[in-house]
Amino acid sequence: MCLTQVGRIVDMVDGDGDVAVVTDTAGTNRRVSLAALTLAGEPVAAGDWVLVHTGFAVERLGDAAAASLVAALADLQEGVEP
Question: If pLDDT is split at 50, 70 and 90, which confidence band does 10 have?
Answer: very high
| Identity of the amino acid at 38 | T
20, 40, 75, 82 from 6: Cα distances, Å: 14, 19, 14, 24
What is Dmax (Cα atoms) for the chain? 44
In the predicted model, is pLDDT for residue 2 greater than 50? Answer: yes
What is the set of domains in the chain, with CATH numbers? Answer: 4-80 (2.30.30.140)
d(CA 24, CA 78): 17
d(CA 53, CA 34): 11
pLDDT tens-digit map of 19-66: 999 998 888 999 999 999 988 888 899 999 999 999 999 999 999 999
